[in-house]
Amino acid sequence: MADPPGLCPDSIANLFDISYSAAAPSVGLDLIGLKRDKTVTTDDVPEFAPLDGHFLRYKWYRIQSDRKVAVCSVHPSEQATLQCLGCVKAKIPISKSYHCSPKCFSDAWQHHRVLHDRAASSVNENGNEEEEIFGRFNSTGSGVISASLTGSASSTSLTNGSTPLYPAAVTQRSGGETWFEVGRSKTYTPTTDDIGHVLKFECVVIDAETKLSLGHPHTILTSRVIPAPCPSPRHLIPVGGADMMAQLDSDGRISSPGTFTVLTYNILSDSYASSELYSYCPSWALSWPYRRQNLLREIIGYRADIVCLQEVQSDHFDDFFAPELDKHGYQALYKRKTNEVYSGNIHTIDGCATFFRRDRFSHVKKYEVEFNKAAQSLTEVAVQTTQKKAALNRLVKDNVALIVVLEAKFTNQGADNPGKRQLLCVANTHVNVQQELKDVKIWQVHTLLKGLEKIAASADIPMLVCGDFNAVPGSAPHSLLAMGKVDPLHPDLVVDPLAILRPHSKLTHQLPLVSAYSAFLRGVGLGLEQQRRRMDPTTNEPLFTNCTRDFIGTLDYIFYTADSLTVESLLELLDEDSLRKDTALPSPEWSSDHVALLAEFRCVPRPRR
């Protein structure tokens, strides 16, 4: 199935694991069965290219029922089966009182009870909510539906899918339902008129010569079409004293001359996005066909000059992200994780992907860091022979880093040497996730930093270190990054069965790294007070960049060399309450369990040494 053009559809229909485009699986092909040469095809069989004298004809219908239907406030594609009486008594908008199951209500209770607390001191907001929610799902007496039907009926022609034009909608009535024909191709992209209604797909085999149908049509019903989730846009907040707030949207990036923006984002690999781990997220919103489009829309909307993504599956990089971002002017580089531990499909193993805008940067050099190789080298020289196997079992975790050296194509206003090449080194990594392996996390971060020190020694170059470090603020890996050393008495250092962290005095580096988001606590400017409330003043880091039902905390960072770069602005942080309305991440609005971070930088002359 080809995804429909555009990245922001009006609505979503759920059909199996298909979302943005309500597309029929090859149901009609079963009617033909085997071809005469005994092979099976899943290709479309259009009228202009019949197969064995037959072709397939498709129709899509919008079904509008005469009866009222209430929908779940948490899972709007599901019909409600219970209502919270507390909401009714508190006169909370009735649409928020419906749930599809006791489990749904239980899972949502932590956020739901906030509505009750607020209602106790708020003005009655109920209004005509009941009329509105029921009106969307019936065909009698609703202004919303009347407008919808009038719009459809007055159309002289319609377009959808691959068929360019076909006659106006055909109306049928059956068993208290009205069917409006809305499409005649294998795929159909729902419109605003379809929101709240079930779609029916019909496929029938047609004799190419007589044009008569063979047998009965095969049909599939979708669940209800719901509005496409539309998260509130995140703004770029100046931290250097500017008095304006720039909004990142599809109209373009607002930034100062000579600056550049960097995004880091763990997008949640499809191989990890299981319904067991994220049972609170609707299945349609967890499906990759939906998430990939929602992620792409979000990433493109930020219009970052450099994009560092983690948990990008190898096949998704080749088949989706690289070609899609290429259309928007990005060059792509990728480092797949190694597969000494991984036992799944080699094509679905994830890795780190770095993209940069071709009109802003050119590629100079690429370094690939495989921590497995570093583990081999370490055990050869630092581990006793009897412990080598155990050491490798502990250290070999397939994690990688991708280091890219870029050259800026824009001029850096204020530079002391305008004619000098402006290089930039960007590291993108995903550190091991296992919390019990604290020594492995510290060792991986230390190994990366030592590699970056070598690059810094060979070239006068600003550096960015981005990624998912799977380390909370104050942990030993974070201390090493932010402070350049680890306190020998740090509790994380207790876990060191291989003695790879000793002596503790070696856990240092000379790069002047600072966390970009600490600028929210240092900066001056409009909008900073709200952002400071979303920061932890004890660690100078965001309160969270990862938010699931079982964990909330900061794991993702953008570090920069403070002697050569300065932070101009930061992408605003999200509020936990706004995310908890969907229980946690991922959600229909945000398609990863992590939050994207973005910073705008300016290169500054290094102090003379």
Per-residue pLDDT reduced to its tens digit, 411-457: 765 445 666 789 999 999 999 999 999 999 999 999 999 999 999 99
CB 331 within 8 A of CB 363: yes
Whether residue 12 is predicted with pLDDT greater than 70 in this model: the reply is no
Distances (CA, A) of 63 to 92, 154, 505, 563, 590: 30, 18, 71, 63, 30
Cα–Cα distances in angstroms (integers) from residue 609 to residues 460, 482, 508, in the given order: 12, 22, 21
Helix or strand or coil: residue 344?
Answer: coil
Does the structure show a pLDDT above 50 at 582?
yes
pLDDT digits (tens, 9 = 90+) for 518-549: 999 987 766 799 999 999 999 999 999 999 99
Instruction: Give residue 573's pLDDT band: very low, low, confident or very high (50, 70, 90).
Output: very high
Provide the residue count of the chain: 609
DSSP-derived pairing of the beta strands 259-266 and 306-313: parallel
Q: Is the pLDDT of residue 243 over 50?
A: no
Give the Cα separation of 437 and 415 in Å (integer): 44
Specify the DSSP element, H or E, that contains 107.
helix 102-119
Model-level pTM? 0.77
The strand order across the sheet containing 54-65 reads: 171-174, 177-183, 54-65, 198-207, 213-224
- Which one is predicted more confidently, 579 or 244? 579
Q: Which DSSP symbol is given to 319?
A: I
281 DSSP 8-state letter? S
Span 161-170, average pLDDT:
45
Amino acid at 195: I
**pLDDT level of residue 244 (50, 70, 90 thresholds):** very low
Of 215-219, 233-237, 242-246, 554-558, which has the strongest mean pLDDT?
A: 554-558
Q: Say which range, 182-191, 210-219, 347-356, 412-421, has the weakest mean pLDDT.
A: 412-421
At residue 505, the 3 state secondary structure works out as helix
Tokens found for residue 123: 């003005």
Tokens of 472: 């909370």
The two structure tokens encoding residue 40: 């099976």
**More confidently predicted of 157 and 238:** 238
CA distances from 390 to 377, 397, 497 (A): 15, 13, 10
pLDDT in tens, 455-514: 999 888 999 999 999 999 999 999 999 999 999 999 999 999 999 999 999 999 999 999
In this structure, how many other beta carbons lie within 10 angstroms of the beta carbon of residue 420? 10
What pLDDT shows up at residue 89?
A: 86
Lookup: tokens for 597: 């971070």
Helix axes 371-382, 388-395, angle to 10 degrees: 160
Phi, psi of 142 (to 5 degrees): -100, 130
Q: What is the 3-state secondary structure (H, E, C) of 554-577?
A: CCEEEEEECCCEEEEEEECCCCHH
Is the separation of the CB atoms in 390 and 357 below 8 Å?
A: no
